[in-house]
Structure 1
Amino acid sequence: MIGQRRHFQVAHRPRNDDESILPLINIVFLLLIFFMVAGQLSAIDPFEVEPVESAVDGQPGPDEFMVIIGTGGRLAVNQDEIELDDLAPLVRGHVERHGDEARVRVKSDGRAEAVEVVGILERLREAGIERIDLLTVPEA
């Protein structure tokens, strides 16, 4: 027995087709996680705003200066809620940085008083803004 060779038979498992698909499932999940993390995240407005409806279909692009007008005199600039008197210095700083290319996007609540919205638009013009984009949603 000590010097004799022994022959062992190795039992092979039957090949399972489900095992070949597991690496594919892993890759799909990794890609899903990657695109969820790498996707563009949009900022949340500091208060709820229901935009005005418009017949013009145009998507707002990312911009560095956005004025958000809410109901009850609420006002925000770039996700920070501010008082109306603080608007002009912020706008002047934006104009100084960007010159003639300075542009402001205004997102107004559809329930806000038109007089308030027009008053804020006039303040933006007085502060030196030549181009104001009023963001709307398409009519249903």
Structure 2
Amino acid sequence: MRLKARRGLTMPDPLVSLIDVVFFLLVFFMLVGRMDATAPFDVSPPISVLGEDLPTGGLTVSIGAEGQMALDGVELDAAALVARLAALRESRPDLLVRVNAHGALRLSILLPLVADIEAAGVGDIVLVVTPNPI
């Protein structure tokens, strides 16, 4: 009795392994990546022709059209927000704060708040704007 010899196992296509790795990386970066803190109210930044790319990291202060404020998505009043930033500033000397203010916000609300944040010791404050789609 003669037995047939088994054929060797065929190797899977290397493209399938590459696709698996790409999907793994996609899911990994979707889970790990942080786009930005979402404000609990509507914030549409002003449109500007000038500006630079936002630096990474730091905290986001969101200010709505009616003056409502939030720090990284947690709604606070102005005094509590500045106090929280001052406390965080002591543990993080290189703290960066991005101010994401609504385009319709009055400057009489925005400028004193920025001055208070600066007085709390935060040296790096950037204003978020939307690039003008020319």
Q: TM-score range by the shorter chain?
A: 0.7 to 0.9
Question: What is the TM-score normalised by the length of structure 1?
Answer: 0.71
Q: Work out whether residues 58 and 95 of structure 2, in 8 Å CA contact, stay in contact via their aligned partners in 1.
A: no
Separation of aligned partners in 2, 1:41 and 1:102: 18
Q: Deviations over 1:25-82 (max 9, x none)?
A: 5335423421222222424412332112222242223223221111212111122121
Computed over aligned residues only, the root mean square deviation of the Cα atoms, in angstroms, reads 2.7
Q: Deviations over 1:74-111 (max 9, x none)?
A: 11112212122201211211221233x33322111112
Q: Extract unaligned runs of 5+ from structure 1.
A: 10-19
Residues 1:111 and 1:23: Cα distance change in structure 2 (over 3 Å): farther
May I ask how many residue pairs the two structures share in their alignment?
126
1:50 equivalent to 2:40? Answer: no
- Report which stretch shifted further, 115-124 or 22-31: 22-31
Identity among equivalent positions (%) equals 19
Question: What is the TM-score normalised by the length of structure 2?
Answer: 0.73
1:76 equivalent to 2:60? Answer: no
For 2:115, the equivalent position in structure 1 comes to 122
Q: Work out whether residues 45 and 79 of structure 1, in 8 Å CA contact, stay in contact via their aligned partners in 2.
A: yes
Aligned ranges 1:1-140 → 2 under 5 Å: 23-24=13-14, 26-39=16-29, 40-46=33-39, 47-99=41-93, 101-140=94-133
Q: Extract unaligned runs of 5+ from structure 2.
A: 5-10
Larger Rg over CA atoms: 1
